[in-house]
Amino acid sequence: MLRSRHRNAVRRAARGGLLLSALAGSALPACRDVVVPLENPAATTFAPALNVNLAAPGVVRTSSGLYYQDLATGSGEVADSGKTVRVFYAGWLTNGRQFDTNRENNRPLEFALGTGAVIRGWDEGLRGMRVGGRRRLIVPPSLGYGARTSGRIPAGSVLVFEVDLVSIATPQ
């Protein structure tokens, strides 16, 4: 919302036929409805250390825009929606900066797959993985955090994850 004096100045400018864009350099407060450009994985340059090549054999692009690649195929049970999975992971921004990992603490993350407990890119990208497998996920913003900042992840970011499927919990 504009402060009262700014709102009145905008009204006067509009009545006088002036374009609101002429106010861009004025002392108006910052607008909270800023449009954040969303990165496109196919048009993104990835840091060389990430070893991401979207055109490499074995890289799959889903209809939602998620890319994934099996780095190691497991031989255990298959992850599917509704199953509780345990994973080790590391996540990076496209510039190569790691923003999160649970590998050092030796405590796998546990969650029910396909229930919205994690970002949509994980719910989609981990389905079909086998226990013992490692998968790289290239998550577009629409399946990650979108146009909002989350911790050390800037708004609009493509995310790169390597996820190890450790186990699938047996229902009690």
Catalytic annotation present for 161: yes
Catalytic annotation present for 99: yes
Q: Which of 67, 89, 153, 164 is catalytic?
A: 89
Catalytic annotation present for 119: yes
Q: Which of 46, 67, 68, 161 is catalytic?
A: 161
Which tokens in the block code for residue 50? 């990430």
Catalytic annotation present for 145: yes
Q: Which of 68, 145, 153, 164 is catalytic?
A: 145
Catalytic annotation present for 89: yes
Catalytic annotation present for 88: no
* Rounded CA separation 117/81 (Å): 11
Do 67 and 137 contact (CB within 8 A), yes or no?
yes
Q: Which of 88, 119, 123, 153 is catalytic?
A: 119
DSSP symbols for 63-122? TTS-EEEEEE---SPBP-TT-EEEEEEEEEETTS-EEEE-TTTT--EEEETTTTSS-HHH
The catalytic site residues sit at: 89, 99-100, 119, 145, 161
